[in-house]
Structure 1
Amino acid sequence: MKKSFPISFESIYQLFSLIVVAILVHALYVGLIRPKADAILAKQEALVAEDKSYVTKRSIYVLIRDYEQEACFILLFWALAIIAYKGAMTIKHRALLRMDLIPLAEGMRILPEDTRDWSRKIQALAPRQREALLPRALLAALQRFGLTGNIQDASASTHAYCASEGERLESELSMVRYI
């Protein structure tokens, strides 16, 4: 039996994207923004010392040079990386909607004793495809229908499964909203 890694790929992606974004933004601040802001402030101080009526001009480098703005940029780019990952996963899952996971002819019925065969076809998908919502929901519906023989039970289990998946996705995106 294949052992799975206890941490999901998405969690590892989020951690490393935070580290990479923090390094890149901090390097930009140390190498470009803070030195330019310090030079602009020194120049403005010299001009004010010469002429007391001199009005200092605003500079974007001076405005964003503080640590709070650096942290905001880090969180911004991290949230964008998370959203990009979610978007890529959505595009991959959309491809499953075009696939005929249960190839039934027009008017053909599925009986409770046939559900095991149809379930095997879904279980034969690649592991990444099997983890998507549609195959998992179909598999849950087929298993429930196979056990109970009642289509309403299968429908209720699929509805509950999709609702819980929606709540899980909502809670995952709450971090991005918080940022």
Structure 2
Amino acid sequence: MTIPASHRPAREWLLLVLALAVVGGAVVPLWHLAGGETREDFAAKWTPERLRALFLGPEQVLCYVAFVWAALILQSRYREVWRQRSAFGFGLLPDEEGARILPEDARPLARKVEHVTGRRPFILANMIRLGLGKYAISKSAPDVAEVVRSQADVETSRLVSTMGTVHYLAWAIPAIGFVGTVRGLAGAFGMAGVTDVGMADFTRQATDQLKIAFDCTLVALLLSLVLMYIVHTVQRAEETLVVDAQEYCQEHLLLRLYDPG
């Protein structure tokens, strides 16, 4: 069976490695020529205390909870996509060269689809079953094509609507980071009203509050970038699944229907 174009890998990871190699080959020499900080300077700046303050603030922990929750939802959806793809190997429709589907074959084929899938929910099987049911009644290939197309739209809408929790969490992560930013800025500006501390203590405490503000923003934005890429990957897999199911119906169902008209 010819592999559909949507099944072929786009070699995106290979292109990512190539992009990293090109950018790294240009940036690393320039970094050394510009006198970038040494390893000792980097170690002195990022002490364990500084790393703990960066990654273990209350807002950061909330961001981790939202990220892990969304990642678990997306993992289950990605596994469901692979379960759905197993239906393409069930042999739900005849694939012999020159095979035709007559109106009297529609209901037996629909019963075969239900038997093979064990009435488990499969997007491909549902499209085929509805299409065969319409063909058994109308005996019109254009009507079957309309049913398949409408069901594909329904499945796409259902996949989009059930992604609502993930989209909320993807929005909530930077929002939580912004809450930490506001808290840090408010603490820094609040130090301006303190008069019973020395300049050194004032500077140190204001700097600590500003670090809270920027640390929350940094962690939240990084998590949001990673999560949005995972969301994009899963959504693309789900959309490709529906498109491939339509293509399967086009090749093995619609083009094999016998239309007396």
Per the TM superposition, whether the score is higher than 0.5 is yes
Q: CA deviation at 1:104?
A: 4.4
Counterpart Cα distance in 1 of 2:64 and 2:70: 10
Instruction: Find the partner of 1:132 among 117, 122, 127.
Output: 122
1:3-46: per-residue Cα shift (whole Å, max 9, x none)? xxxxxxxxxxxxxxxxxxxxxxxxxxxxxxxxxxxxxxxxxxxx
Task: Output the amino acid matched with 2:71.
Answer: L
AA partner of residue 76 (structure 2): Y
Aligned residue number for residue 169 of structure 1: 159
Matched letter for residue 100 of structure 1? G
Letter in 2 for 1:125: V
Distance 2:51 2:71 in 1: 22
Partner of 1:144: 134
Give the SS at the match of 1:59. helix
Q: Give the superposition deviation at 1:147.
A: 0.9
Higher RCO by CA contacts (8 Å cutoff, separation 6 or greater): 2
Structure 1 residues 151 and 56: CA distance shift in structure 2, 3 A: closer
Q: 2:92 aligns with which of 90, 101, 105?
A: 101
How far is 1:63 from its partner? 2.4
Residue aligning to 2:67: 76
| TM-score for the superposition, normalised by structure 2 | 0.44
1:76-129, CA deviations, whole angstroms, 9 ceiling, x for partnerless residues?
01111111111111112222223321124322221112111000110102447x
User: Contact 2:90–2:116 at 8 Å: present in 1 too?
Assistant: no
Amino acid at match of 1:106: E
Q: Does 1:91 find its partner at 2:82? A: yes
Q: 1:18-29 counterparts in 2 under 5 A?
A: none
Match of 2:162, SS state, is helix
Letter in 1 for 2:131: A
Count of paired positions: 124
Distance 2:85 2:167 in 1: 24
Is 2:92–2:116's contact at 8 Å kept on the other side of the alignment?
Answer: no
**For 1:127 and 1:83, how far apart are their aligned partners in 2?**
26
Alignment of structure 1 residues 4-43 onto 2, 5 Å: none
What's the offset of the Cα at 1:174? 3.4
Give, as a single letter, the amino acid of the residue that structure 2 aligns with 1:82. I
One-letter amino acid of the structure 2 residue matched with residue 79 of structure 1: A
State the SS of the aligned residue for 1:125.
helix
On the 8 A contact 2:106/2:136 being kept in 1, the answer is yes
Structure 1 stretches of at least 4 aligned residues deviating more than 4 Å after TM superposition? 55-58
The whole-number CA distance in structure 1 between the counterparts of 2:129 and 2:146 is 13
Q: How far apart are the structure 2 equivalents of 1:127 and 1:72? A: 41
Structure 1 position 65, deviation (Å): 3.0
Identity across the alignment (%): 26
Report the RMSD for the aligned CA atoms in angstroms. 2.1
List gaps (5 residues or longer) in structure 2: 1-44, 170-261
CA distance in 2, matches of 1:131, 1:56: 52
Structure 2 Cα separation of the partners of residues 106 and 147 of structure 1 = 26
